[in-house]
Structure formats: C-alpha cells, structure tokens
RNA sequence: GCUUCUGUAGCUUAAUUGGAUAAAGCACCAGAUUGCGGAUCUGGAGAGUAUAGGUUCGAAUCCUAUCAGAAGCACCA
C-alpha cells in the first residue's frame, strides 16, 4: 500500500540523518485540505528526542520525493502529486504485491441440527467480507466453516429421535422437526435428570465410533448441511474448508495426555482442567465421564492450523458472548505450546449480538429465534415491491438488492456493538445504504454506455476542486481496503463517500453535454473509475452491482 | 460477588485506536430539475461524547471513582 511505502521512506530518511529508528504512522486525514496522508512524526520525535521541529520539517520536505508536503501545527501533511492521480485515472493502477503470510478466517460455524438464525448472519457476513478483503490484498488466505458437529448435543438429539421422533416425519422438514425435538428434550430434561445421563451415554458411544450411532449422526449432519448450504447459496458464500469439530475430535486425547504429562493440566473432581488465570475458573478439557468437549476440540484445531497448515494469521469471527471462553482457550493453547507465538498470530473479532427489542438473547432452546431465511424472504418481498413501483420486473435485480441490503446493514456498523433486532434496521433501503451505492453504479453505467467513441488521446483536465478531491479519494482505494482488513465498515464508509462526491458532481456539472472535450473526457474517465471502484468495493463486501433498478 | 464489554444529536450509527473544527443517515424545516436514471442534489436546525476528577502539547479514545445496561462465570457451544 502507498501508505506503507510512504511510512518506510520517511523512516529511512529519519534514520539517515538522526540515526533513530522510529515507526512512522501514516493516516489519512478526514479533511482534504490536510493532505492525502498525514503523520504526527514531527511531534512525536520532538517530544521523545527533543529534535527541532522546524529543522526536521525542512529536512523532510527537501528530501521526500514525489510528494508535496506542508506542515500545519507540525502535522506533516502529504499530498499526492497530480501526475500520479492522472496516471491512476487513465488506468495505470499500482499492482498489489503478493503477501507471503498464510491467513485463515474462521466464520459462520453454525451448530448442526439448529436452524440458521439471524444471529449467524453477523459472523457469516462479516467473516466473509474479511476473507474477501484478505484475498484482494493478495494474502494466501483460506476460510473455514468450523461446524459444531460434535458434542453432547448429539446424544440429546439421538435420544430424542429414538424416543419421540419419527423418521418419516423428520425427513419431510428435518430442521424444524429436529429443532422441536431438541427443545422438547430440554423441557423433559428439567423434569427428569435421567435424560442427561442417557444423552451422555449416547455421546460416549458416538465418540467411541459405535456404528449405529455414527450412521444416525451422519444423517443428522446431512440434513443440516443441506439446509445451511441453501442459505450460503442465497448469500453467495463459499467455503474452501468445512472441517467441523468432529474432524479434530480424535486429536483431542493426545492434547489431554500431553497437558497432563507437562503438568499444565490437573485432575479435579474427575475432570481434567487447566488453570489459565488465577481469577478465573479453570478450563475443562476432559469431562469426568472421559469425553471431550468444545475446548478440547478447539485446542486441537489451533494446533492443527498452526503446525500442520502453518498458518501465520488465524482470525476467529465469533459472537461476543463467547469472547471470554475463546480468550481463555487462546491462553491455554499458549501454555501448552500448541503454536509458536512468533510464527502464528491469533486474532479474535468478537462481534455484537443480535437481540430482541427487550434486550433478550435469541435462544434455540427457548425457541424464540428468527431464521435467517425469514429475513431473506422479507427482504426479497420489499425489494420486489420497490422495483415494481418503478415498473421493473427483474428477478436478478431483486435478489441482488435484497441480499445486498441485509449484508450492508450488518457491515456498515463497527462489529463490536450489539444490534437490537428491528426489521427496518436490517432491511433499510433509504439513505446510506447499499441501494444508494447500487443506484450510483447504475448511473455511471448509463453514462458510460452513452459515451461511445472516446478518444483516449485527450488531455486530462480536472476543472474544479470537487473533481480533484474525488480523484484523490479514488486513488487511495487500496489504502482504505487495507485498513478495512479487520473492520469492513471502513470500506463501507469509503464507498458511501465516493458515491456522495460523484453524485454531487453529477448534479452540478454536465458530463456528456460538456463542450470542452478535455473536460468531458476527464469527467467520463472519472465516471468510469467510480464505476469500477464501486464494483470491486461492493464485491469485497460480498454485494453485487445491479444493471437495472 | 468476580471477569469482560457497552454508554456519542430525538432515533440509528461513524470517528483510521492519542491528533487538527466530533462525522453521517433517518425524522424535521427550507430550496434545486428546459443536464446524462429524482432511488438525486444543496442548505438549515440539532450533540461537546453517561457523570466527576486525572494523565499531556493534544482525550469520545488512556487512568481512577460513580451511575446505567449487557454478557460470561466447570463438565453446553
């Protein structure tokens, strides 16, 4: 990224003169007048090493080539020069260099036999955008859907099926029927604790590879995966890997033995536990009945990803209700030396939870969830209605607008805050929305189509400040994408700003009817660049552009 | 009780992680089109960031206390 290059350049210059090695932070100021990039390095060096502010500025402005520099309040304001911008508009875009880091993004991770609910929308949509962004930035990236396909809940389910279920009924609508059985189990369990023991026994059989149980388990998995895949198809999300917990289950024993051998784990009340923090209760890695649980599987997952796959960055996109547990698990992994901290970095992105208006959590057990499919249906209905009002009947557009709105409304906010569920919030089509961006794209498209016979030999003539500022913003696309790596909302904000600036120019200045040929050519070129930027930008959010709307 | 997170215009959210005048959308008010898709554009009014202190050139962001809300807290994930 240009930002990084600039940072290194300045760092080198400073080292040359002062023999000080200091990281130079480059940021993009909010005001155009403060430059394209800015740095507080003068203030920093001044307070840290007592270096004369004026002298440093003089030195940098003389020696930093290719940029115009100003110092305002001793902020270093750096401007891209006009030739670079013109080059960019003409299509000479800098190539992104391949990164050697291996990255794995884990997201979505629904639990088998439970409906795919709105709560899963967050991790699925944010995680997918992060994955796409890393790919665009040319990291060696892969994604993994860490399905919850192992654990005592299968004992519960199989018990419920065998005692109250009927295969012929379940097969007609597996997800709903299984969910009913799951809820029923929890109700009955409250009255009759015997059931807990029965479920544990069944899970134990499963983990001992009992053939009959395994075949039931496989059936349940298939039903669920078919349902999940429908949702993923609608959302156009594809996983390179779908290694569920079961994949790691047989590696778990070794971890437990290791932990005991190294005396990092101890036996307590029959269970094997690891103390990660004096203030916290220990992490259980083996239950007293000898079976494993999520924490063991997840530890095995870390080891596998770090040692076998040799991932350098592992990103977990998980709900904030699991934050404490995941962090504790990270710590345990460190204690057990399951990964090398110098080679592998674990990043936890814990997003806010979607809740009901009273602040209550959606819960499968309580049966008060809203399925993501219901949301998608509703979005289709609304999108269709809006298009119909305008006399357009186009299934493809309906889908792109409907899905785009859901994704956009989740991606536009910072992931950390909780969302109180409201239909209008998730399916907003007015104002700062995907629809606005898609509309701007259609506008650009229309202009481009009407502007045939473009003479690319024309000079570029940027005739006003607004065009200049738009061009500068377009130029920094890659920088914005880079900073949106772990929070796509930065990219959302960027795209909205591009559209606002373009729409302003569109309404104020003629494009196709402009008489000055150079200015006309420039405006068309700007339009083309806006169009391309919107297309790649939305794609990184997992949203499609629309041809007609 | 312990641990963690959150608190920003009437509402929904931003603020590149310590920077420059706290930024948008919705709603409200006033305006723009003989121009390329009006699902558009311009302007106005509206907060000094829960409260009180502190740290420093500089705080919504860090520290302390208080208030309010949420999540997790051993064999579920």
Span CA (A280) to C1' (B2), Å: 8
- Looking at domain A372-540, its CATH superfamily turns out to be Isoleucyl-tRNA Synthetase; Domain 1 (1.10.730.10)
| Nucleotide closest to residue A482 (CA–C1') | B16
| Nucleotide closest to residue A355 (CA–C1') | B70
- At A141 the pLDDT is 97
Span CA (A104) to C1' (B25), Å: 34
| Nucleotide closest to residue A283 (CA–C1') | B74
Residue A359 reports pLDDT greater than 70: no
Answer whether A249's CB lies under 8 Å from A292's CB.
Answer: yes
- At A390 the pLDDT is 87
Asked if A418 CB < 7 A from strand B, the reply is yes
Instruction: Give bridge partners of residue A351 from the DSSP assignment.
Output: A319
Asked if A413 CB < 7 A from strand B, the reply is yes
Joined together, the tokens standing for residue A22 give: 């200091």
Instruction: Give bridge partners of residue A140 from the DSSP assignment.
Output: A102
Q: What is the pLDDT of residues A269-307, one digit of tens each?
A: 899 999 988 778 899 999 998 999 999 999 999 999 999
- At A119 the pLDDT is 86
Joined together, the tokens standing for residue A388 give: 């119909």
- Report the distance separating Cα A8 and Cα A29, nearest Å: 19
Answer whether A99's CB lies under 8 Å from A120's CB.
Answer: no
Answer whether A325's CB lies under 8 Å from A295's CB.
Answer: yes
Joined together, the tokens standing for residue A129 give: 């955008």
Structural Rg of chain A based on CA atoms: 28
Answer whether A60's CB lies under 8 Å from A46's CB.
Answer: no
Answer whether A137's CB lies under 8 Å from A95's CB.
Answer: no
- At A73 the pLDDT is 85
In window 98-157 of A, residues with CB < 7 A from nucleic chain B are 111, 148, 150-153
Residue nearest to nucleotide B69 (CA to C1'): A359
Residues 6+ apart with CB under 8 A from A141: A102, A103, A104, A105, A131, A134, A135
Joined together, the tokens standing for residue A421 give: 């569920």
The DSSP symbol for A33 reads G
C-alpha distances out from residue A470 to A85, A506, A522, A527, Å: 10, 12, 12, 10
The helix or strand, by DSSP H or E, that contains position A142, with its residue range, turns out to be strand A140-144
Res. A317 pLDDT band, cuts 50 70 90: very high
Joined together, the tokens standing for residue A302 give: 């870390």
Span CA (A192) to C1' (B12), Å: 46
Res. A316 pLDDT band, cuts 50 70 90: very high
What is the three-class DSSP state of A442? Answer: helix
Residues in chain A, how many?
A: 549
ipTM of the complex: 0.95
In window 383-402 of A, residues with CB < 7 A from nucleic chain B are 386-387, 390, 392, 401
The helix or strand, by DSSP H or E, that contains position A349, with its residue range, turns out to be strand A345-351
Q: What is the pLDDT of residues A31-58, one digit of tens each?
A: 999 999 999 999 888 888 878 888 899 9
- Report the distance separating Cα A186 and Cα A160, nearest Å: 10
| Nucleotide closest to residue A547 (CA–C1') | B37
- At A257 the pLDDT is 94
Section A25-36 average pLDDT: 93
pLDDT above 90 covers a percentage of chain A that reads 74
Answer whether A349's CB lies under 8 Å from A128's CB.
Answer: no
Cα three-residue angle A443-A31-A43, rounded to 5 degrees: 150
| Nucleotide closest to residue A288 (CA–C1') | B75
| Nucleotide closest to residue A420 (CA–C1') | B12
- Could you tell me which of A95, A128, A141 has the C-alpha nearest to residue A478? A95
Query: Which range among A184-188, A426-430, A463-467 has the greatest average pLDDT?
Result: A463-467
Residue A367 reports pLDDT greater than 70: no
Asked if A87 CB < 7 A from strand B, the reply is no
Asked if A439 CB < 7 A from strand B, the reply is yes
Q: What is the dihedral of CA A526, A532, A535, A539, to 10 degrees?
A: -130
Span CA (A29) to C1' (B63), Å: 28
Computed over every residue of chain A, the mean pLDDT equals 92
Domain A103-244+308-355 in the same topology as domain A2-80: no
What is the three-class DSSP state of A150? Answer: coil
Architecture of domain A103-244+308-355: 3-Layer(aba) Sandwich (3.40)
Q: Which CATH number fits domain A2-80: 3.30.1360.70, 3.40.50.720, 3.40.50.620, 1.10.150.530?
A: 3.30.1360.70
Based on DSSP, count helices (H) and strands (E) in chain A, helices before strands. 22, 13
Q: Tell me which nucleotides of strand B come within 7 A of a protein CB.
A: 2-7, 12-17, 19-21, 23-27, 32, 35-42, 57-58, 69-77
Span CA (A283) to C1' (B55), Å: 37
Judged on CB neighbours under 10 Å (0-12, 13-18, 19+), A376 is buried
Joined together, the tokens standing for residue A124 give: 């699925």
Q: A28-62 burial, b for 16+ CB within 10 Å, e for fewer?
A: beeeeebbbbbbbbbebbbeeeebeeeebbebbee
Asked if A491 CB < 7 A from strand B, the reply is no
| Nucleotide closest to residue A422 (CA–C1') | B12
Span CA (A425) to C1' (B29), Å: 25
Answer whether A342's CB lies under 8 Å from A135's CB.
Answer: no
Per domain, the residue ranges of chain A are 2-80, 103-244+308-355, 372-540
Span CA (A521) to C1' (B27), Å: 40
Residues 6+ apart with CB under 8 A from A43: A53, A74, A75
Residues 6+ apart with CB under 8 A from A100: A140
């Amino acid at each position: 990224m240009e930002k990084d290059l600039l940072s290194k350049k300045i760092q080198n210059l400073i080292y040359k003169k002062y023999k000080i090695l200091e990281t130079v932070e480059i940021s993009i100021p909010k005001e155009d007048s403060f430059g394209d990039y800015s740095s507080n390095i003068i203030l920093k060096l001044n307070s840290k090493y007592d270096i004369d502010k004026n002298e440093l500025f003089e030195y940098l402005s003389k020696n930093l080539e290719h940029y115009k520099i100003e110092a305002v309040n001793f902020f270093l304001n750096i401007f891209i020069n006009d030739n670079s911008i013109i080059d960019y508009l003409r299509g000479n875009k800098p190539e992104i260099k391949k990164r050697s880091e291996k990255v794995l993004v884990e997201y979505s991770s629904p639990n088998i036999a439970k409906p795919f609910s709105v709560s899963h929308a967050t991790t699925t949509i944010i995680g997918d955008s992060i994955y796409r962004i890393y790919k665009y930035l040319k990291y060696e990236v892969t994604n993994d859907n860490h399905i919850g396909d192992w654990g005592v809940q299968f004992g519960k389910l199989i018990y419920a099926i065998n005692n109250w279920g009927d295969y012929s009924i379940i097969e007609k609508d597996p997800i709903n029927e299984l969910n009913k059985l799951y809820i029923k189990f929890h109700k009955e369990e409250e009255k009759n604790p015997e059931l807990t023991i029965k479920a544990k026994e069944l899970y134990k059989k499963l983990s001992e590879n009992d053939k009959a149980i395994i075949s039931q388990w496989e059936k349940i998995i298939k039903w669920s995966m078919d349902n999940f895949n429908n949702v993923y198809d609608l959302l156009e999300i594809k996983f390179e890997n779908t290694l569920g917990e079961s994949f790691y289950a047989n590696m778990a024993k070794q971890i437990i033995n290791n932990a005991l051998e190294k005396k990092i784990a101890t036996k307590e009340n029959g269970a094997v536990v690891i103390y990660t923090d004096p203030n916290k209760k220990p992490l259980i890695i083996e239950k007293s009945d000898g079976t494993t649980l999520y924490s063991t599987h997840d530890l095995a997952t870390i080891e596998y990803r770090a040692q076998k796959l040799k991932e350098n960055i592992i990103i977990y996109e998980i709900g904030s209700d699991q934050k404490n547990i995941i962090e504790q698990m990270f710590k345990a992994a460190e204690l057990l030396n399951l990964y090398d901290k110098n080679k592998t970095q674990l990043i936890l992105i814990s997003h806010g939870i979607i809740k009901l208006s009273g602040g209550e959590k959606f819960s499968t057990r309580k049966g008060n969830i809203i399925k993501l499919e219901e949301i998608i249906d509703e979005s289709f209905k609304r999108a269709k209605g809006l298009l119909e009002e305008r006399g357009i009947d186009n299934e493809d557009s309906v889908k792109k607008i409907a899905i785009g709105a859901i994704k956009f409304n989740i991606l536009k906010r910072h992931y950390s805050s909780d969302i109180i569920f409201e239909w209008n919030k998730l399916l907003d089509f007015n104002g700062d929305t995907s629809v606005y961006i898609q509309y701007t794209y259609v506008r650009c498209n229309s202009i481009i189509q009407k502007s045939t016979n473009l003479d690319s030999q024309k000079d570029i003539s940027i005739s006003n400040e607004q065009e200049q500022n738009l061009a500068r913003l377009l130029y920094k696309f890659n920088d914005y994408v880079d900073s949106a790596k772990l929070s796509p909302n930065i990219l959302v904000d960027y795209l909205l700003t591009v559209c606002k600036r373009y729409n302003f120019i569109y309404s104020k200045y003629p494009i196709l009817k402009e008489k000055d040929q150079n200015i006309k050519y420039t405006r068309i070129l700007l339009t083309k660049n806006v169009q391309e930027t919107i297309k790649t930008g939305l794609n990184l959010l997992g949203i499609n552009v629309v041809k007609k709307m």
